[in-house]
Copies of this chain bind each other. A is one copy, B any other.
Amino acid sequence: MLVNTIGYFFGSQRRDSLQHSLRRTLQLLSILFCAFKRPLVIILLLTALSVEVKAQQATWIWYPGDFEVWLGNKMQNRRTERTVFLPPFWKLDNHYVLIDFHRDYDLAAAEEVDIFVEGRYNIKLDGKGIEGTPSRITIPAGKHKLSLKVFNQSSVPAIYVKGKTVISDSSWLLTYEDKEWIDETGKASDQSGTTWLNAGFWNFNSPGELPSKVSLAVKPQSAVSTAKLNNSLVLDFGKETFGFIKLHGLKGKGNVGIYYGESKEEALATKTCETLDRLQVNLSQGTDSVMELSKAFRYVNVQLDGGVSLDSVSMLYEYLPVEDRGSFRCSDEQVNKIYDVAKYTFHLNTREFFIDGIKRDRWIWSGDAYQSYLMNYYLFFDSPSVTRTLLALRGKDPVTSHINTIMDYSFYWFLGIYDYYQYTGDKNFIKQFYPRMQSLMEYCLSRRNKNGMMEGLAGDWVFIDWAEGLSKKGEVSFEQLLLCRSLEAMAISAGVANDAAGATRYQQLATDLKSKIFAAYWNESKQALVHSRVDGKPTENVTRYANMFAIFFNYLNDAQKLGVKQNVLLNDKVQKITTPYMRFYELEALCAMGEQPYVLKEMKDYWGGMLNLGATSFWEEYNPSKKGAEHYAMYGREFGKSLCHAWGASPIYLLGKYYLGVKPTAPGYETYVVEPALGGLQWMRGTVPTPNGEISLDCTTKQIKVKGAEGNGTLRFKSKTKPVSKGSVITAKGNGVYEMTMEKGKEYTVSYSAL
């Protein structure tokens, strides 16, 4: 009954009481950032492990995609840079404010149903309004249609319905009344002309867990060391972390400055550190105060005016509780350490959404998020985090610019859909959001030039990578490649959404474009795709981008692949990649070409290099030639670099997909391969999550133990000797390659001899 009484009419009254009692507690603390703006009742977000909430679990529901857009606004508008509010610089969309919810029931017996709503609402039974805004209704036995209509301007219209069998879940149908069908007499009909979608939901499974009050979990943490000097305290929390600083026993009159540092140097650099808080204190007795906004830091420098004192400083670590379902351990302790720090880095950046970095930008960037989706499939397999991020990025129609204003980032969105379907097999998501895929794709297609190629128009940011002198002029091959894969994603999605004409059209567009790409960019003498075509003429410039994507998109024949490997990937004369962002794909391409030993060495050099410098999370960029605090500078700012960036965590993906070697070959792991590659390791073992289970592997140079909880697997491996597995048939494929079929739930042990 709680929520209902804090529904529309009593909304502010109830909130007042809560805040009033908070105010009583905090009334003496007059600080710049009012701590009580953050709800003190922390709602734990228990992450659903499966794609859909099962029947008989009542949950808060809303128009699909709307909560994600709303939450995206909330989260992306929390960033400050040295106290200056720093919001995104692209169009933000909004939820629909008026939503019609309904579901048809056939009840064996009458039942009482409790109704909780976020917004002003009405309830209709069989189309007839029930007086007032009741919190409990009785539905008689038999066939009945229960409808609610909810208006909410400031947050998402949402309902929670709970009876014995009547419950709010994804089976409810919703419309924002995009169109209305009126019959000949002018009366509203059954609304058959409107578009009805299945309800969206997450994990708000009790009446009190209001979607509008969403907040991540927190737990108290203490510093590992504190240095006191005059009126300042410098705290070290032992490793990169994220949360709300809490000042205990704050007292007196004057100013407090809190300077955050991902490095000690940053926390001490009060004039150039990236984030800080300023408080004005006037407190006659010691009071605890929690900062309003959570921040990224390892070190915190608290500076107090002479008249101000405090007892101690701690923090509330803020996190999304997601379970590690993937794992990796091997014979190389440095690789294990890399995996662990990558995991922690990825945890820190997996929040309301997959964000780029926890210090900055704390925004949702499609290119960064795309890599997080891939890592997620090998660690959390948390589909809601993927769909939340995809939906927030996509926003609403009309499309007025590329996602994040970047051409490549629109394409990564489609690539994200492609992979999401491949890993999860979630047809419902594709069906529901196919119209949004269509409108974004039509926007992209409408911006092709007269040759049918993508070329930057006014308002387009052709990004590719941060790399000096990288040309964005003309028709860049990399962008055409991404469009081609996006069209393939559309063809598959059209099939899922039962749009046969669309499937044919998108596949044809993809096929045509692929031919054009090879005609325009493949340079036979260079054995590579060239970087671009300007004024109809291919340039002579070869870069790694298109070439490495062509490999793992499987767009090259074997000869071309070898040519690219020798002439581009392993060719030091071709401009090197310096960002972990593109390093991700470069190493993936090398792995796809069987270069696991080389990649393992690179991994140990690059990520190991950061660890050697004391990194506790992986960075936005790492250049071994720099020294000391030089590492912290970027974008022309002394501490501009993020020391905890999602794209730094790519070993999770590489180790899972190319060393454990697990990947789906049909949507949702209906079929999959396990293709272990030790890459020079003595042994490795680990698990890779699948929609409803996991695939486990334990691999030495002599024995492979493998088991898959669901789907039909193929174990593919190389052996110097003829391998043996008791009770299984192993087929030789030539060149020392063997394959074995794996049944669901059965453990296999193979004796072999690693090449």
Q: A-side interface residues toward B, CB under 8 Å?
A: 9-10, 12-13, 15-16, 19-20, 23, 32-34, 36-37, 70, 73-74, 77, 81-92, 94-98, 120-122, 129-133, 149, 151, 153-155, 176-182, 184, 186, 188, 192-194, 278, 292, 397-398, 400-401, 405, 458-461, 463, 466, 472
A16 touches B13 (CB 8 A): no
A178 touches B401 (CB 8 A): yes
B85 touches A459 (CB 8 A): no
A460 CB contacts on chain B under 8 angstroms: 182
Q: When A83-B131, A84-B129 are in contact, do A89 and B177 touch as well, CB less than 8 Å?
A: yes
Question: Chain B residue with minimal CB distance to A175?
Answer: B91
Distance between A476 CB and nearest chain B CB, rounded to angstroms: 13
A122 touches B86 (CB 8 A): yes
A179 touches B96 (CB 8 A): no
Question: Chain B residue with minimal CB distance to A192?
Answer: B458
B179 touches A400 (CB 8 A): yes
Distance between A252 CB and nearest chain B CB, rounded to angstroms: 22
B97 touches A459 (CB 8 A): no
A81 CB contacts on chain B under 8 angstroms: 129
B9 touches A34 (CB 8 A): yes
Q: For the complex formed by this chain, how many copies does it contain in all?
A: 2
C-alpha spacing A102/B500, complex, angstroms: 48
B401 touches A398 (CB 8 A): no
**Can you list 11 A-B contacts (CB < 8 A)?**
A12-B15, A77-B120, A85-B151, A86-B129, A87-B98, A90-B180, A91-B178, A154-B155, A180-B405, A181-B458, A193-B459
Tell me whether chain A's interface is mostly helix, strand or loop, or mixed.
loop
A463 CB contacts on chain B under 8 angstroms: 186
Distance between A95 CB and nearest chain B CB, rounded to angstroms: 7
A73 touches B20 (CB 8 A): no
Q: When A19-B16, A73-B151, A153-B154 are in contact, do A459 and B89 touch as well, CB less than 8 Å?
A: no
Distance between A8 CB and nearest chain B CB, rounded to angstroms: 8
B153 touches A74 (CB 8 A): yes
A192 CB contacts on chain B under 8 angstroms: 458
Q: When A129-B84, A149-B85 are in contact, do A461 and B180 touch as well, CB less than 8 Å?
A: yes
B94 touches A98 (CB 8 A): no
A20 CB contacts on chain B under 8 angstroms: 16, 20
A179 touches B73 (CB 8 A): no
B16 touches A37 (CB 8 A): no
B10 touches A131 (CB 8 A): no
Q: When A9-B33, A97-B73, A186-B466 are in contact, do A85 and B180 touch as well, CB less than 8 Å?
A: no
B182 touches A405 (CB 8 A): yes
Name the contact of A83 in the complex, choosing from B73, B74, B132, B179 (C-beta under 8 A): B132
